């Protein structure tokens, strides 16, 4: 009987040891999952921030090219633009407003102007974000860039159809860049 008791104790010890090893394995797996999830969240935030910064730059690029269809596509379905010429909601209304504001004669070249977009401050929260940025408008005079106007954009952004779009872009009145 004594040998059976020793065998029994040994078996119980093996089972307890196996349970301890399994528990440790589960704890390590949980820690790895948690670490992977944290890393995935950090990477997503960085990717979102980069995509939003690209959106902010595309805005100036499309405006400078006077490609108002591409410009308007940067806005969400119910996105709005608000500035010195009024407030417009929806890509079609925004496109029409920009075409009217920047109307030029048929066949005339795109003016020698450009925007410099800077100082991006982006705060991402899931599928929504807030951003602010600065802009400077330049005219090219005798081959040299001359800063003409400057201002700040305040933005609310949303991920729509897997892409970041302006939900609301406010462009307060510009200031002369020379003052």
Looking at residue 15, which CATH number applies to its domain? Answer: 3.10.450.50
Indicate the number of domains in the chain.
1
Is residue 155 within 8 A of residue 131, CB to CB? The reply is yes
Where is pLDDT greater, at 126 or 20?
Answer: 126
pTM of the model: 0.75
Give the residue among 154, 152, 146 at the shortest CA–CA distance from 178.
146
Domain that holds residue 20: 2-176
Contacts 24+ apart (CB under 8 A), 90-98: 95/68, 95/69, 95/71, 98/63, 98/68, 98/71, 98/72
For the stretch 100-120, pLDDT in tens is: 988 876 666 666 888 899 999
For the stretch 20-34, pLDDT in tens is: 666 656 666 676 667
Percentage of residues in the chain with pLDDT exceeding 90?
54
């Amino acid at each position: 009987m004594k040998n059976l008791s020793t065998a029994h104790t040994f078996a119980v010890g093996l089972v307890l040891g196996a349970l301890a090893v399994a528990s440790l394995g589960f704890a390590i797996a949980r820690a790895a999952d948690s670490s992977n999830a944290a890393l995935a969240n950090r990477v997503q935030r960085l990717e979102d921030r980069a995509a939003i910064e690209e959106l902010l730059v595309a805005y100036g690029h499309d405006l400078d090219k006077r490609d108002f269809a591409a410009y308007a596509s940067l806005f969400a379905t119910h996105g709005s633009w608000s500035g010195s010429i009024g407030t417009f909601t929806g890509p079609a209304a925004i496109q029409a407003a920009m075409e009217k504001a920047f109307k030029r004669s048929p066949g005339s070249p795109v003016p020698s102007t450009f925007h410099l977009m800077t100082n991006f401050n982006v705060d991402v929260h899931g599928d929504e974000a807030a951003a602010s940025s600065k802009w400077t408008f330049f005219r090219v005079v005798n081959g040299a860039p001359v800063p003409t106007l400057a201002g700040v954009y305040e933005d609310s952004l949303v991920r729509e159809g897997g892409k970041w779009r302006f939900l609301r872009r406010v462009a307060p009145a510009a200031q002369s860049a020379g003052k």
